[in-house]
Amino acid sequence: MFAFNFSFCQSETGAVQFWEKLNTYCGQSFEGEITAGGKEGDGFVGKKLLMHVRSCEENRIRIPFFVGDDKSRTWVLTLADNILKLKHDHRHEDGSPDKVTQYGGRSTNSGLPEIQFFPADQETSDLIPAASTNVWWITVDEKSFTYNLKRVGTDRIFSVSFDTTKPVETPSAPWGWEK
């Protein structure tokens, strides 16, 4: 007599594995450097670049991105139905929303554990018509977190990479956050 034990388990999707990796950074801050697209006078070159994985909820991770003393930017990632969404939350120093905020995109599939793509969504196209062809992607590996932007059909590209092997001191709260 033969006994068979079949185990039917669904492996985690790329989006869920990516999400779990991001969660390992929760509460940590990292310094970064521009790796593509930086130009003198763009507001980024020559500034200290910090990311802080500040808030990790079940389906939302918020990552403030500081450029020098400018604490206006937060990357907001959400996970729903094995698909990730990236939004950019821009705030003024008083905490009020910037007129250009909540742009970004939603992955078209579950992606891979180390990379997720976010083509511009309709909200972005309505808010910033020139950004209709934007594609953002984030890579996470054992040594780094890299945020990227490409405007398809143009020469515009921007990448900033953060060394996740060397956490740095946690910065103060971003604009619009109470603590």
Please, is 11 exposed, middle or buried when counting C-beta atoms within 10 Å of its C-beta (0-12, 13-18, 19+)?
exposed
CB atoms within 10 A of CB 112: 14
* Cβ–Cβ under 8 Å, residues 30 and 51: yes
Domain range holding 79? 14-163
For the chain, what percent of residues have pLDDT higher than 90?
Answer: 84
* pLDDT given at position 41: 75
As a whole number of angstroms, the distance between CA 132 and CA 9 comes to 39
Structural domains counted in the chain: 1
* pLDDT given at position 10: 54
Give the pLDDT confidence of 7-25 residue by residue, as tens digits.
444 579 999 999 999 999 9
178 within domain boundaries? no
1 within domain boundaries? no
Q: What is the mean pLDDT of residues 53-58?
A: 96
Q: Which of 10, 35, 29 is nearest to 139 (CA)?
A: 35
57 within domain boundaries? yes
Q: Which of 134, 137, 111 is nearest to 122 (CA)?
A: 134
152 within domain boundaries? yes
